[in-house]
Structure 1
Amino acid sequence: MFGLDMGGVGPEVLLYGLPLAFLAGFIDAVAGGGGTISLPALFFMGLSPVQAVATNKLLAIFGSATSTYQYWRGGHLDRDLLLRTVPLALIGSALGAYLVRFVDPDSFRALVGVVILAVGALVIANKRFGLESTYPGLTARTLALALPGVLVIGIYDGFLGPGTGTFLMLLFALTGMNLVSSSGNARAVNFATNLGALGLFLAAGNIVWWLGLSMGLANALGARTGAKMAMLKGSGFVKVIYAVIVVVVALVMFRG
């Protein structure tokens, strides 16, 4: 399964691949959007589109698992809520992957770019949004927001993908969580959707293993650093990074 296939690239690509994977892990652990760094790096190395996407899922598993663990240790995950939302995220991502066969996702890129910019503007304009926790726990309102929200975002992740973690952060913040806890719970859900997608790529044999594993370790180190920084610096720090990532993701969507 692992083989010796180099994917058409040599080990010299790690000179820039490892630092970029670390940065992607750091950014993703704080505010999502790490794929906007790691995926273009894999394309630049010369991987085919399917190899790049599949290998990116492998390295992202390392980062999302690491950051999820760090946020869990810090007490920022709502286990009961995750037990209800993760299955919906998996169902949604599978449905999105199915729907992409019938609808061209490129036609939605500009729309998603506009939506994520509008979301970012609302978060930034409301100076207190996400800075303090008003999370009431597993109430009817929380479930009414989180369950359909995660399902829809899961569909988006399977259908298109960029900005999934950023949208999840906003969703959890709307339930009353501060941005640190929102980021932690978003990472946990995103880990589940990454794992589901990875299973499909494993069956298809599209992963460049040596590259995904080596960059995955760098991604995990970046994620560990980012999660610790977010918990240390607090929601104000996360909000600044979130604002930057919103702009980056929107630009990626507009450019296609």
Structure 2
Amino acid sequence: MPGPDVLLYGVPLAFVAGFIDAVAGGGGTITLPTLFLMGLTPPQVVATNKLLAIFGSGSATVQYARKGHIEWPLVGRLIPLALVGSALGAYLVHFVDPAAFRTLVAVVILGVGTLVLLNKRFGLDDRYPGLTARVLALTLPGAFIVGMYDGFLGPGTGTFLMFLFALSGFNLVRASGNARAINFATNLGAFVFFLIGGQMVFWIGLPMGVANALGAALGARMAMLRGSAFVKWMYAVIVLLVAARLLFA
């Protein structure tokens, strides 16, 4: 078991991860390697990461909700599907080769990032039409699939959710708010599951969680202040980080 000195780098890195995750997703690309570096076992890493993630995603959700950047009528319909998908993904992890799946997802997320960047207006304007048949046909299965990915592997879940919401017509600020709300729900569900398993290292996860929440609050405020153009730039950076994490894990 590591000593308290690991918090000297763990806490500031959790803060940075919270900031990044609140803007464009992908905070796990920082927190997961950090927890491994501390010397935790793989089950402890996964469980402790969920502990600190509920702080960050919860903090970001509150910030976006206060400014009206979460479309609750839609998000409320998607959360149950994301939770069911997450549970199924956690089950399927025993039957699918994670290495091959990581490579496939890395290619997909790079493709998603390329589409976002090549379309100069993508995600900059808010054109959400409401709960139309097209929106529901896109987001209902999309939330289930992304939730399943979150339960199976995880890195980049928020980034995929943002792309899903942007395709539905939201600008990237509102897409980020919606993604954080669903992420909070899936993190909370996973937290309860891992809490029962008894693998969480609370003396590491709690202080890192507080730092993650503070970083997330700042990141959400920065995203809302700077607008969708800033979020789009951050999104491009996160796509590269997530792809590298998946390919070289």
TM range (shorter): over 0.9
1:97-246 superposed matches below 5 A:
97-246=90-239
Q: Tell me how far 1:171 sits from its aligned partner.
A: 0.1
**Which residue does the alignment assign to 2:65?**
72
Q: Which runs of 5+ in 1 are unaligned?
A: 1-7
Q: Could you state the TM-score of these two structures normalised by the residue count of structure 2?
A: 0.99
Q: Could you state the TM-score of these two structures normalised by the residue count of structure 1?
A: 0.96
**Which residue does the alignment assign to 1:86?**
79
* Residue among 23, 26, 31 paired with 1:33: 26
Q: Tell me how far 1:10 sits from its aligned partner.
A: 1.1
Stretches (4+) displaced over 4 A: none
SS state at 2:123 partner: coil
**2:205 & 2:171 partners in 1: Cα distance?**
33
SS state at 1:128 partner: coil
Q: Tell me how far 1:104 sits from its aligned partner.
A: 2.1
Report the residue type matching 2:178 in the other structure. Answer: N
Q: Tell me how far 1:200 sits from its aligned partner.
A: 1.2
**2:178 & 2:10 partners in 1: Cα distance?**
28
SS state at 1:76 partner: coil
Q: Which runs of 5+ in 2 are unaligned?
A: none
How big is the alpha-carbon RMSD for the aligned residues of Structure 1 and Structure 2? 0.6
Q: Tell me how far 1:184 sits from its aligned partner.
A: 0.4
**1:122 & 1:112 partners in 2: Cα distance?**
15
1:57 and 2:50 equivalent? yes
Q: Tell me how far 1:102 sits from its aligned partner.
A: 1.5
**Cα deviations by residue, 1:117-168 (Å, 9 ceiling, x for unpaired):** 0100000010100001000111111111110000000011101111100000
**Cα deviations by residue, 1:205-250 (Å, 9 ceiling, x for unpaired):** 0000111001000000000000000000000000000000000100
**1:133 & 1:100 partners in 2: Cα distance?**
37
Q: Tell me how far 1:103 sits from its aligned partner.
A: 1.5
Name whichever of 22-31 and 98-107 sits farther off. Answer: 98-107
* Percent of paired sites with the same residue: 69
Report the residue type matching 1:176 in the other structure. Answer: G
1:255 and 2:237 equivalent? no
Name whichever of 102-111 and 186-195 sits farther off. Answer: 102-111
